[in-house]
Amino acid sequence: MTSAADIRSTLRHGRSSIGAWLTLPSPELAECLAGCGFDWLAVDMEHGAIGIETAGRVFIAAERHGVAPFARLPSADPYLARRLLDQGCQGLIVPVVESAEDFRAFASHCLYPPAGKRGVGLSRGNQFGDSFDTMLNHFQPLLVPQIETRAGVAAAAAIAALPMVDALFLGPYDLSASLGQAGNFATPAFADAMAEVRHACAEAGKAAGIHQVAPVLDGLEARKEEGFRLIAFGTDAQAIRHVFAPLKA
């Protein structure tokens, strides 16, 4: 199975890692996406309709196809993060991060002692004890703060410099809203913000990430050319609508 360590190595070697994005509470749909060649599958718990029980079943579906299960949290909730990691989550995308110190405090709950203060117990994530020592001594989830406000952009360099951060993930819609023109990605302010986040990543040797929401390959290639390497491509719902939208014409 693709692991957090595999994706971390991919990013550190300057290669791209592409993920699917699940918003609908369906392990069967997750399995369909997991069989399409993605490296990881993110359960969207911020804007999607997926709870923790369904997330666990989605993780199983992803693993069946060798795809790393991720989650986008609804907030920097350390105790939900702990539960998802215990369910086998390999990576966490954390929305609206605006402070390096706040993210450091959150991340401490995701790392086992002595690096952090994650609770230690038997769970699905360590195969109910069968891989307990391996997980305790070697596992570190991929940790990805989202930069999606003016304050986040201002703090991007400090956040990217944190040793436990693997990438910064730019949230284009929320960032454009924070800049005063929601959904307008053509403003100079938005272009400057994107450039600042990418520069922060480059200076820290971390990957820049983004969500290419429209499920079109030209858009995916454009994000790669812009320098983004951790890319969520489309969503389950958007992919379905993209295929059937011509029926409305």
pLDDT in tens, 53-92: 999 999 999 999 999 999 999 999 999 999 999 999 999 9
pLDDT for 177 equals 96
CATH of the domain at 64: 3.20.20.60
Residue 231 pLDDT greater than 80, yes or no: yes
Note the pLDDT tens digit of each residue in 121-160.
999 999 999 999 999 999 999 999 999 999 999 999 999 9
HSE toward the beta carbon, residue 20, CA cutoff 13 A: 28
Q: Give residue 248's pLDDT band: very low, low, confident or very high (50, 70, 90).
A: confident
Give me Rg for the CA atoms of the chain.
17
Q: 207 forms bridges with which residues in the sheet? A: 167
Mean pLDDT of 226-245: 96
Give how far Cα 60 sits from Cα of 41, 95, 236, Å: 11, 24, 17
Q: Which among 47, 109, 211, 242 is annotated as catalytic? A: 47
Helix (H, G, I), strand (E, B) or coil at 170: strand
Q: Is the pTM of this model over 0.85?
A: yes
Reported in sequence order, the residue ranges of 173-229 that DSSP labels E, i.e. its strands, are 207-212
Q: Give residue 249's pLDDT band: very low, low, confident or very high (50, 70, 90).
A: confident
Average pLDDT, rounded, for the chain: 97
Query: Residue 134 belongs to what domain range?
Result: 4-248
Mean pLDDT of 240-244: 94
- Amino acid at the residue 55: A
Closest CA to 86 of 110, 116, 106: 110
Q: What's the domain count of the chain?
A: 1
199 flagged as catalytic: no
Which helix or strand (DSSP H or E) is residue 94 part of?
strand 91-94
Reported in sequence order, the residue ranges of the chain that DSSP labels E, i.e. its strands, are 17-22, 40-44, 68-72, 91-94, 142-147, 167-170, 207-212, 230-233
Q: How many CB atoms lie within 10 A of CB 36?
A: 13
| Residue recorded with tokens 């086992």 | 112
Do you find a cis peptide bond into 114, omega within 30 degrees of 0?
yes
